[in-house]
Amino acid sequence: MIKTKKFQLTKKEYFSFIIRILLKKRWWLYALMWLFSFGILFNDKKDYLINSIMIVGFLYPILTILTYWRFANSKENKIFFKERQYEIFSDRIISYMGEISEGTIDNQNFIKVFELKDLYLLYISKGQCFYFPKRIFETQEDENWFRNEVFLKINNK
């Protein structure tokens, strides 16, 4: 069993990790859109339809990022920025949010995991996950234990 440090995400951290997840999954789509748009930009034959496709190709990725920024900075997402702490066992995780809220989830309920360079994500549904910034672990041994006993076991099931 390990206990993490108390932590809370900032809006900037939250925005950063949701954008990185988006780009890790769909980078090829945005690259293809911009490549196609640049190809149209330097093409001699242009009409209304071609110009429209080019504009959408340039603007869609930018509008997607702006949408995620609005979501990350929304007042409705206060719960993401509450202080929290975890007690992690090999079979369950206990989450403490603030001083009154406590929840336990069995590791069998996680459906997938995802790792970024500074963050572990454990998904309980397609749109809900527990996030574990790597900075919350007291020691490197604690992080290694979490990675081996929880993260990799969920990943391999």
| Domains defined along the chain, listed by start | 2-7+80-156 (2.30.29), 11-77 (no CATH)
pLDDT value of position 77? 85
Give me the pLDDT at residue 49, please: 81
CA–CA distance from 123 to each of 32, 44, 127 (Å)?
A: 29, 48, 8
Distance of CA 93 to the CA centre of its chain: 19
Can you tell me the distance from the alpha carbon of 153 to that of 106, in angstroms, rounded to the nearest whole number? 13
Residue type, 99: E
What is the reported pTM? Answer: 0.79
pLDDT in tens, 30-74: 999 888 888 887 877 778 888 888 888 889 999 999 999 999 999
3-state SS class at 49? helix
